[in-house]
Amino acid sequence: MTAARDIMTPDPQCAGVGQTVAEAAMLMRDLDVGALPICGDDGRLAGMITDRDIVVRVVAEGRDPGATTVGELADGKPVTVGADDDVREAPRVMQEYQVRRLPVIDGHELVGIISQADVALSLSAAETGETVEEISEA
């Protein structure tokens, strides 16, 4: 069985709950990524922040990116997949929750991120097409 850990990008960098949205945006730029996990002071995953969140939930609402913390954007319980889960669980969860990036946890520790591209490289063309179509539906 191929596990989620076999296709994930390991060692993701987190934005801390107390960091500003502006700091997170600069980190995204520097890492050339469109999303970052949000980690609490205890190191646990608190959510995800995307470049779209920054535009829609901060800039478009007239909030100050230099004063708004990423922790303010962390909503509810993050959607995750376990590191040892079958790789086919990742696209199922992505489809169900309409997410393009999926944090991978081992116990309570964030160990990686699975993106649509990671899924595309691990599945057949038909499965990849179905996954992308389902995620992009909303």
Number of domains observed in the structure of the chain: 1
pLDDT of residue 22: 98
- pLDDT category at 131 given cuts 50, 70, 90 is low
Q: Which CATH number covers residue 96?
A: 3.10.580.10
Range in 8-12, 44-48, 116-120 the model is least confident about: 116-120
Q: Report d(CA 45, CA 74) in Å as an integer.
A: 10
Per the structure, the complete domain to which residue 40 belongs is given by 4-135
Q: Report d(CA 35, CA 29) in Å as an integer.
A: 10
HEC string of the chain equals CCEHHHCCEECCCCEECCCEHHHHHHHHHHHCCCEEEEECCCCCEEEEEEHHHHHHHHHCCCCCCCCCEHHHHCCCCCCCEECCCECCHHHHHHHHHCCCEEEEEECCEEEEEEEHHHHHHHCCHHHHHHHHHHHCCC
pLDDT of residue 121: 85
